[in-house]
Structure 1
Amino acid sequence: MVDSDLSSQMESWVNSIGKVANLSVDEQTKINKAGADVGAKVLQQATKDKHYRKRKTGKDVHLADSILSEANNVNGNKDGSSIYGFDTKKAYIA
């Protein structure tokens, strides 16, 4: 048998997160884009720490300098998600 106190606490918790869970696409995009920006920064730093050489690259940028974050999904649709990773021109190297 479920403790009624626990049950009421869980119901209260579900109601409180329900307010956050009903975010608009714009709100979701803003939150997820912030996370993607942080992820891109971490990936860029890790790539520089492990694979970066100071050299003249000309037009061809270094792998660590080709990391992007975008406020859309992998298909380019705006659905509240965000992505980050290497530019498609350099992703094959990674």
Structure 2
Amino acid sequence: MSEFSSDLEDFNSQILSLTNLSISDKEAISKEGAIVFKKELKDVVRNRHYRIRSTGENPHLADTLGMRPGNRDSRRTGAYTVGWGSSKQKNGKDFIANFIENGTRVPFVKTSNRGLKFRLNKGGSVGVRRDPFISETQQNAAVNQTMLEVMSKRYNEITTEKN
């Protein structure tokens, strides 16, 4: 019986060594997936929303896509964040990506004296149609499969180095 319990303890320690990764190891794994996601998202933005034009010092949305370690709050949790940075930064384009992702059209409605609702036509106001390119890229099965393959390869490298 003692052999069985020692075998179980050995097995348990092996499993724990494979699952208890340090934050730097988690970041190394998630960085590989973030690189794949960034490339795919950049391609999607270029295909759907890129126009060849002179942007001057204000680069295009596809050209400012970035990647950094940590979550949205910059806490190092082992994750990588792919995005455009805060609008408070120099080239922050997060608000533009949000406009394209969710759209900006809000119908202007006014109620008349008789209780009828009618739409106000404001000349020159044009809303942005919703194009959920970020969420579609996040939910794309081919992108997720590629990310998982790359991340599993890096995970196997890290775990073989440990053992």
TM-score (norm 1): 0.76
Q: Select 1:46's aligned residue among 44, 47, 51.
A: 44
Provide the rounded CA distance (Å) in 1 between the counterparts of 2:83 and 2:17. Answer: 31
Provide the rounded CA distance (Å) in 2 between the counterparts of 1:87 and 1:74. Answer: 9
Which residue of 1 is the match for residue 137 of structure 2?
none
Which residue of 2 is the match for residue 87 of structure 1?
85
Q: Is the 8 A contact 1:36 1:70 kept in 2?
A: no
Q: Is the 8 A contact 1:71 1:80 kept in 2?
A: yes
Provide the rounded CA distance (Å) in 1 between the counterparts of 2:85 and 2:38. Answer: 11
| Closer/same/farther in 2, CA of residues 17 and 65 from structure 1, 3 Å limit | farther
- Percent identity reads 34
Provide the rounded CA distance (Å) in 2 between the counterparts of 1:49 and 1:43. Answer: 10
Quote the offset at 1:62 in angstroms: 0.2
The aligned runs of 1:1-94 (5 Å cut-off) are 18-88=16-86, 89-94=92-97
**Mind listing any 5+ residue stretches in structure 1 that lack a counterpart?**
1-10
Provide the rounded CA distance (Å) in 2 between the counterparts of 1:18 and 1:35. Answer: 23
Aligned-partner residue type, residue 78 of structure 1: R
Quote the offset at 1:18 in angstroms: 3.8
Q: Deviations over 1:14-71 (max 9, x none)?
A: 9565432111111001111111111111111100011101111111010111111111
TM-score (norm 2): 0.46
Higher relative contact order (CA 8 A, sep 6+): 1
Structure 1 segments (4+ residues) deviating >2 Å: 14-20
Aligned-partner residue type, residue 48 of structure 2: K
Structure number with greater Rg is 2
Provide the rounded CA distance (Å) in 2 between the counterparts of 1:17 and 1:49. Answer: 44
Aligned-partner residue type, residue 46 of structure 2: K
Once superposed, what is the RMSD of the aligned Cα atoms?
Answer: 1.9
- In the alignment of these two chains, the number of paired residues is 82
Give the SS at the match of 1:42: helix
